[in-house]
Each structure stands twice: as C-alpha cells, then as structure tokens.
C-alpha cells in the first residue's frame, strides 16, 4: 500500500528565508505525487504534481519540488518565504483505486 510521511508537523521560518517541507513516499511502483496547500478555513489547492516527465517540478507561487527515487523523497521548497505562504501543506500520493492518500500535513508559520 502506498503512503507518504511528512517529516515535520510544524516548520517556522522568517519572511524572506528559504522554505523546506519534507516528504518521503512509500510505493512499490512509480508514484504519482502531489503537494496541496490549505489556508485557514479554505479547501485544498494544488501546488504542483509529479508526473514522471521531469524530476524537478515547478508549481504555483514560486514553489518547486524534486523527486528523488534513490531517497524516496519529494521535498517542497521555495527560495524566499512570504507572509501569505503561511498555511498547512500536504504531501499526497495519487496511487491507484481512485483515491488520494494524504500525509499528516506540515503547518508552515512565517514570521515577520
């Protein structure tokens, strides 16, 4: 069964500094991986997805993620955090059987 592990439940950064949110996946086949963001009292918005076409995936709002098969990782990064990035981020395995498997989430706090 596929699963994803988000290694940090909470990450705090200062505005203007880099962001790193870590995700490891466990899948017996080539995975489909996504990062979603959820702002307070809002639904989930897709940031980016890995489609096997390229290992470095660029998403919206300056986020990107790198798929590393040797490390079974799909970490999310952004060079410079903005106050509006404060939200909860979910690493998701698209898997199969028409369902998404979510990680536990990482709450990103951005300090002024």
Partner 1 sequence: KAGVTQTPRYLIKTRGQQVTLSCSPISGHRSVSWYQQTPGQGLQFLFEYFSETQRNKGNFPGRFSGRQFSNSRSEMNVSTLELGDSALYLCASSFAAGGLWETQYFGPGTRLLVL
Q: Which residues bind partner 1 (CB under 8 A)?
A: 31-32, 34, 36, 42-46, 49-52, 90, 94-105
67 beta partners: 74
- Least distance (Å) from partner 1 to the CB of residue 107? 11
Q: Which two tokens stand for residue 24?
A: 């490891």
Q: Count of CB atoms within 10 A of residue 9's CB?
A: 11
| Phi, psi dihedrals of residue 30, rounded to the nearest 5° | -60, 120
DSSP state of 87: E
Q: Which is nearer to partner 1, 23 or 81 (CB)?
A: 23
Least distance from partner 1 to the Cβ atom of residue 96, Å:
7
**Judged by CB, which is closer to partner 1: 70, or 97?**
97
For partner 1, which is the closer residue by CB, 46 or 111? 46
Task: Kindly tell me which of 19 and 57 has the beta carbon lying closer to partner 1.
Answer: 57
Instruction: Give the span between the Cα atoms of 40 and 87, in whole angstroms.
Output: 7
| Nearest approach, Cβ of residue 27 and partner 1 (Å) | 10
Residues 6+ apart with CB under 8 A from 61: 47, 78, 85
- In the complex, minimum distance from the CB of residue 64 to partner 1, in angstroms, rounded to a whole number: 17
């Amino acid at each position: 069964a596929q699963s994803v592990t988000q290694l940090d439940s909470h990450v705090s950064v200062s505005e203007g500094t880099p962001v790193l949110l870590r995700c490891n996946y466990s899948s017996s086949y080539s995975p489909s991986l996504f990062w979603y963001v959820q702002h307070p009292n809002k639904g989930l918005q897709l940031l980016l997805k890995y489609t096997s076409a390229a290992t470095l995936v660029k998403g919206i709002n300056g986020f990107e993620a790198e798929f590393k098969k040797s490390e079974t990782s799909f970490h999310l990064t952004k060079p410079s955090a903005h106050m509006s990035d404060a939200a909860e981020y979910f690493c998701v395995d698209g898997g199969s059987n028409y369902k998404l498997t979510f990680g536990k989430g990482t709450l990103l706090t951005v300090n002024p």
